[in-house]
Structure 1
Amino acid sequence: MITTPTAPIGGKRPVSCSGDRPLPGTLALPAPTGLHSQDGTGHVLLDWDPVDGALGYVVHRSDSVDGPFAPLDHGDGDVPAVPRPPYADTRVEAGRGYWYKVASWTDAGPGPLTPGPVRGCARARGIGPAAVAVCVDAGTAPVPLRGVWRRTICSAHLPPSPDDGPGPGGADAAVEHAEALRIVLGGIGIRTVHGTFLPERVTVRPDGRFDFTGLDAALDRLLAAGLEPVVELSFPSAGLAADPCATVLTRGGGTSAPPDGGRYGELCRELTVHVRERHGADEVAGWLFEVRNEPGPEVLRSGSQDACHRRYETAARAVKSVDDRIRVGGRSSAAAPWVGALLEFCRREDVPIDFVSARTRGDAPLDLRPLTRSFARATGRPEPEILWTERGFTAGRFQPADDSAFAAPSVLRAVKSALASADALASWAATDHSARSGSPPALFHGGSGLLTAGNLRKPRFWALRLLSGLAGGRVPARVTGDGAEALVEALATAAGDGTHADVLVWNGTPDRTRAAGAAALDRAALVEVRGLTPRAVYDVTLWRVDEDHADIRTVWEAMGGGDWPDARQWARLRAADVLPAEPLPAVAASPDGTVSLSVDLPMPGVRSLRLTRA
């Protein structure tokens, strides 16, 4: 249905009567209480009492009890905060003491530090790996495992047109990109693609009309592959920009704001009308429309915060004027600022917002629920969804860790965090064919994709593949021991009738100085699964992701490495591009229905165990 606008496109509605008090979560909070430390093997474990309303926490460290205290640098992340305790500091020397304080983090930044520091001193590695235990209760009634990682993927580029020319090494970039999307759809179950940029696919004709031919072709290819788009009302088209030469990124996204806000509103409205007429009103009503230009970093935006908010208002009202059912939100804020400010603006000006979106690089995403929940309470509207539309392992370009097994536990840690606090967590990105970085200079160059150019699967892909392969519903999985719930974490699923159980356990740290591994952080894991059928025999299957398993870069380096493979080397790499299932000896459950298994768990490393009743 096309509804009648209640105000001119880009105009204001009456200010809502929700009060002038800032939303909780946008102001500084007191420091956490209960801070304490535990000396661990190769790390110091910190824990504290969560602060109501905090979006995250910033850990500070000093070599002296008297300071100065500085935030711990995880290395190549764009947000210094971690979403919740506990936290493992692995940037340590065994036997050396450190002092710690913690600050709460809100949309306004860090608050005061804890008044009293705590001391920690990491232990050296013993004769063998330190121990952890993973206890799974498969007898508990399973609950659905929310597929936050499957909801969308960032493509980093629209599917290239067939006339875009050859890609790296003479490959057909359009074919490879389409294949990459099919791989993530089939292997991970991704449902939608984030990355439909306006400036590349919409042009302005000499007579002023908009030409959607390029956008239509791109959307047709996505839909034909079984995927839906997240429509990004992003950088303004060159024909609307005040300065068409002001661009950023290799795709030429415009950073110059349209001089005529009404004209920008016309574009957003006409695009919405066009895709509804072409693909069906009910179909498009299920799509997300994201008003996006990554506000915050000045290189990616034009104008003040208020000007960006007004452009959001223009776009949101334009889309809703066509069909109020379409979910619109934004602003895909880089490094997660401005989320609270946008919600404040939407509350004050009564602007529609169905979801907030942000992107983050490095650690697990922050917890934005204090912002969205307080917005819902203040306005009486439904709570906006929280969508992390681009979660990357590193913030910079060409980081070797992106290609390595070190990134695999990181993506699982991020997903587990998002399971408790978000509605979607999109990986940045599907493939190394990237509008952000340009054509890959070499096969392994530290690209942000789950897949290389040529569509070899990186360890991060395999980690998500194992996650997507968990069968049944989620059951409790508790980790105890040296580095539990900070270095070593787990997720588990079960059928509920004792027929099978899956356990996914990983060992990782955000500390990039340990990207090559650290023997002191390796662990021996005892996995205990309770609630199975007493005395029944179970077949056991193991999958491993680490530097020696499912790490295609290691295979390439063993072949001699270099920039690009020749035809013979490509064949060898594709043959090795697998995640083998390793059968283990069958085990019998105890009289009380318990099975215990021991597995090695290097750092970095991922292990997945499946128990199936024989």
Structure 2
Amino acid sequence: MTTDQQPVSDARADWQSRIALRSDEGDREVTPVLPPPNDLAAIPGLGHVRLGWAPVPEAVGYLVHRAPISDGAVDGPFAPVDHLGGDVLAVPDPWYVDTTGEPGQPYAYAVGSVSEVTVTGPLGEPVRAAALPFPVAPTTATVPPVGGAVPTVELRLDGSAQGTPLHRPWQPMIGSERLSQLLCRDLSGGREIGAELLAALRRIRAEIGVETVRAHAILHDDLGVYREVDGEPVHDFSVVDQVYDLVLEAGLRPVVELGFMPRELASDPTRTVFGYAAVVSPPKDWDRWGDLVRALVRHLLDRYGDTVLTWDFEVWNEANLEVFWSGDQEEWMRLYDVTARAVKEVDPRIPVGGPSSAAAGWVDALLEHAGRAGTPVDFVSTHTYGSPPLDLRPTLRRLGFPDARILWTEWGVTPTHFHPVNDGMSAATFLLSGMRSAAGRVDALSYWVASDHFEELGRPPRLLHGGFGLLTVGGIAKPRYHALWMLARLGDTELPVRASGDGADGLVQSWASRRTDGSLAILVWVSTLDQSKRDGEPSLARRIRLAVEGAAGRPVRITRLDRGHGDVTTLAAQLGVDDWPTETQWAALRAADSLTVEELGAARNGAATNAAVIELELPQPGAVLVELDARP
């Protein structure tokens, strides 16, 4: 599949020059400015400071600020703590782990409440703390002993507790390169693009249980959906059928992102993005745009039947960035109105939503507009990178859309193409933390993207190039894919965990579950948002002592994920992989493409509790899945 493309170097330069530019914001209602959270407390630990505070019910997130202390006084202004995610720094949970400071250096911390991604309220009263250096002399009972011994975090749970339903935000959706690539027979790294992209989607469906796939550019000219003959529109969805047939055969349903603009329908076809020259202009004829949308939806319903009623139709992509939309906000709101109404005219049961925005922008603006205009919004969709997704439920309640679903249709560790953090281990624990945070408040958290067969700014130049994919060219799992695999092993019932020790419920996180057969699956990981620690920090390693009440004597298995287990970057370095593997190296990479399960035998008995006790060393970044068989 081919289309007119601009040179990759030009596409990259254009992207870098315009990606930070926001589209016109238009007129806005007044967003409330929220008071700061109460009860801010700072707990110093080895290599980190854990901050916690009381939730503010109307907040979508919180922005942590810091200022250095010198000679007992605050030395300089407060500034947001930058964990190098490259996008939104606000976090949704009422806690934060700071590993960006210098151990032993005291800082003043203060937190502001975020009511909308661009609106942070005043900072509250600051608290002071310093991360403990390594090694450290004991000053309290909670400080590690002299010599820098690894602190222990105690985790305790009752395997027979009633529990609650376990939410799985990773399961509804995954992102992908534009679906026309499924038909591409070109080679990248010696591998056929379309065949491997399809294989990646099939694997993610089979092993992770993902249900839908979202991709850009279903209306792009390489699918031939629109042309004009003698000045009259001609619609042709035959190639769309080919790619959607493949998606459905893979066991997935498509999320239909309605964009970009067909060249012959664009008011300015010279305004493009990406190497494949996707047109980002408003239409030259709004009626013809609406007709195209209606025709596509009607065709899909005729071809695929009532399953289309379960497909989400999303309006455009990141129109709040100038690089993706050459019009202003008012024109995009018109695009949303025309598009949403065209979808609903075919069948009002088909879900439609947006704004599919970058950095959680335009959510308030769309809901304010839709409330005035009476335009349907079945789901709110947006994107962020580098932090867990914000909590949009207060926004939906405030603006009168409490029942709209929340779809994070793009999310990842970084928005930056070709960033090394994409390939390594720290992105895996980032993914675990984000999914844990989103569970129960986000309907879908879609990781961007499935495969390194991805060419927005050019095809992969080497195996490990910092690509967005969960799987490399060649289909080798990166640590982020293994993290999803671990999550998919969790059971249907979430069990509460009581944690204590240096790093508990912050640096060290856990997710415990019981399966329907009575077996237990418990995930534990050490993680920080701080990307300066992406290669690991010894002072952040922890010893884990996991006690499962009522489970003594049950057989135990563990599966490790860390720099030495399941990290393709480590293995590739050991093999001496250059830009692309040799055939022998490909074979070695494929042989190590799955995680190794270790049999520990029967769990030992904890003192007087009939508890199964498992003790583990866990590096940062690192994760372990502990599985206990059902009671014999």
* TM-score (norm. length: structure 2): 0.89
Q: What is the deviation of 1:67?
A: 3.1
* 2:558 corresponds to 1:542: yes
Contact 2:453 2:459 in 1 (8 A): yes
- 1:599 pairs with one of 599, 606, 616: 616
Q: Secondary structure at the match of 1:301?
A: coil
Change (3 A) 1:604 1:341: same
Distance in 1, matches of 2:515 and 2:243, equals: 40
Corresponding residue of 1:415 = 435
Amino acid aligned to 1:54 = A
Corresponding residue of 1:394 = 414
Contact 1:390 1:428 in 2 (8 A): yes
Change (3 A) 1:423 1:115: closer
Deviations 1:81-110 (A, max 9, x none): 011121111012221111111111122624
- 1:246 pairs with one of 243, 261, 271: 271
Distance in 1, matches of 2:409 and 2:499, equals: 29
Contact 1:27 1:108 in 2 (8 A): no
- 2:513 pairs with one of 483, 487, 493: 493
- 1:61 pairs with one of 63, 66, 70: 66
Amino acid aligned to 1:344 = E
Q: Secondary structure at the match of 2:179?
A: coil
Corresponding residue of 1:374 = 398
Q: What is the deviation of 1:544?
A: 0.4
Contact 1:544 1:606 in 2 (8 A): yes
Q: What is the deviation of 1:171?
A: 1.4
Corresponding residue of 1:3 = none
- 1:571 pairs with one of 562, 568, 587: 587
Q: What is the deviation of 1:159?
A: 5.1
Distance in 2, matches of 1:28 and 1:109, equals: 11
Contact 1:159 1:178 in 2 (8 A): no
Q: How does 1:128-527 map to 2 (within 5 A)?
A: 128-158=149-179, 160-162=181-183, 164-195=184-215, 197=217, 198-199=219-220, 200-207=222-229, 208-280=233-305, 282-375=306-399, 378=400, 383-495=403-515, 499-527=518-546
Distance in 2, matches of 1:181 and 1:54, equals: 36
Contact 1:506 1:607 in 2 (8 A): yes
Amino acid aligned to 1:268 = V
Amino acid aligned to 1:425 = L
Change (3 A) 1:383 1:121: same
Q: What is the number of residues matched between the two proteins?
A: 583
Corresponding residue of 1:51 = 56
Contact 2:515 2:521 in 1 (8 A): no
Contact 2:216 2:317 in 1 (8 A): no
Distance in 2, matches of 1:108 and 1:464, equals: 28
Change (3 A) 1:597 1:434: same
Q: How does 1:87-98 map to 2 (within 5 A)?
A: 87-98=96-107
Segments of 5+ residues of structure 1 without an aligned counterpart are 1-19
Amino acid aligned to 2:46 = T
Distance in 1, matches of 2:150 and 2:272, equals: 51
Q: What is the deviation of 1:589?
A: 4.8
Q: Which runs of 4+ in 1 moved over 3 A?
A: 20-23, 588-593
Corresponding residue of 1:9 = none
Q: Secondary structure at the match of 1:300?
A: coil
Corresponding residue of 1:36 = 41
Corresponding residue of 1:4 = none
Contact 2:160 2:550 in 1 (8 A): yes
Contact 1:360 1:392 in 2 (8 A): yes
Distance in 2, matches of 1:212 and 1:336, equals: 32
Deviations 1:558-610 (A, max 9, x none): 11131001111111111111201001131255664422211111100011100
Q: What is the deviation of 1:115?
A: 4.2
Contact 1:397 1:447 in 2 (8 A): yes
Distance in 2, matches of 1:293 and 1:155, equals: 13
Distance in 2, matches of 1:244 and 1:303, equals: 12
Judge which range, 405-414 or 292-301, deviates more: 292-301
Contact 1:149 1:426 in 2 (8 A): yes
Contact 2:46 2:540 in 1 (8 A): yes
Distance in 2, matches of 1:213 and 1:77, equals: 40
Distance in 1, matches of 2:616 and 2:226, equals: 60
Q: Percent identity between the aligned chains?
A: 42
Contact 2:273 2:280 in 1 (8 A): yes
Change (3 A) 1:360 1:140: same
Contact 1:319 1:328 in 2 (8 A): yes
Distance in 2, matches of 1:181 and 1:343, equals: 33
Distance in 2, matches of 1:219 and 1:53, equals: 40
* TM-score (norm. length: structure 1): 0.92
Amino acid aligned to 2:548 = V
Amino acid aligned to 2:149 = G
Distance in 2, matches of 1:299 and 1:159, equals: 22
Deviations 1:137-188 (A, max 9, x none): 22221332222101010012215244x3422223110110010001111111
Deviations 1:412-432 (A, max 9, x none): 111011103210001110001
Contact 2:311 2:351 in 1 (8 A): yes
Q: Secondary structure at the match of 1:133?
A: strand
Amino acid aligned to 1:514 = K
Q: What is the deviation of 1:125?
A: 2.5
Amino acid aligned to 2:88 = V
Distance in 1, matches of 2:192 and 2:154, equals: 48
RMSD: 1.9
Q: Secondary structure at the match of 1:421?
A: coil
Q: What is the deviation of 1:31?
A: 1.6
Amino acid aligned to 1:33 = N
Distance in 2, matches of 1:184 and 1:362, equals: 22
Change (3 A) 1:67 1:35: farther
Q: Secondary structure at the match of 1:265?
A: helix
* 2:128 corresponds to 1:119: yes
Amino acid aligned to 1:75 = L
Deviations 1:321-340 (A, max 9, x none): 01011011012111111111
Corresponding residue of 1:15 = none
Contact 1:61 1:72 in 2 (8 A): yes
Segments of 5+ residues of structure 2 without an aligned counterpart are 1-26, 136-147
Q: What is the deviation of 1:206?
A: 3.3
Q: What is the deviation of 1:66?
A: 5.3
Change (3 A) 1:601 1:108: closer
Distance in 2, matches of 1:469 and 1:495, equals: 9
Deviations 1:122-141 (A, max 9, x none): 11234221221222222221
Change (3 A) 1:177 1:108: closer
Q: Secondary structure at the match of 1:209?
A: strand
